[in-house]
């Protein structure tokens, strides 16, 4: 799956009619790491996602106070360590709105949108 060009996303947002309201843009790039949260080694993961649900959580994030724009992309398929899982961009009026919206959106994508199956290394 072709990952987005985040610079293009930023140009689009900064060129929008509401650009004068933007005080901060934050970008999250989730990456496949080589261990689980508890330290078990993995060689990658299988990742699928619900596109309709992704659009719903993006739309809900856009309705948060101070949020001007939201973009998100989720990878899919067999991913190796170091591959991109997702890119998420939130543009908002002030720092607190940007951080809060980004944190909530990434959490919702991880818990409501994607399904990850880690692939464990063979001994």
Other C-beta atoms closer than 10 Å to the C-beta of 37 total 6
pLDDT tens for each residue of 74-94: 999 999 999 999 999 999 999
Helix ranges, the chain (H): 6-14, 51-62, 95-108
- In angstroms, the CA 120 to CA 46 distance is 11
**What is the separation of C-alpha 103 from the centre of its chain, rounded to a whole number of angstroms?**
10
Residues of the chain with pLDDT under 70: 123
Phi-psi domain of 77 (left: phi exceeds 0; alpha: psi -120 through 50; beta: other) = left
pTM to 2 decimals? 0.93
For the chain, how many helices (H) and strands (E)? Answer: 3, 6
């Amino acid at each position: 799956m072709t990952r987005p060009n985040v610079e293009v996303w930023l140009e689009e947002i900064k060129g929008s009619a509401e650009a004068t309201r933007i005080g901060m843009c934050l970008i999250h790039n989730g990456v496949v790491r080589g261990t689980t949260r508890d330290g078990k080694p993995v060689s990658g993961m299988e990742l699928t996602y619900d596109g309709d649900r992704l659009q719903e959580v993006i739309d809900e994030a856009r309705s948060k106070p101070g949020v001007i724009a939201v973009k998100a992309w989720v990878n899919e398929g067999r991913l190796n360590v170091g591959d991109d899982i997702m890119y998420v961009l939130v543009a908002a009026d002030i720092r607190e709105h940007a951080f809060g919206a980004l944190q909530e959106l990434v959490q919702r994508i991880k818990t409501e949108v994607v399904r990850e199956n880690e692939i464990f290394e063979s001994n």
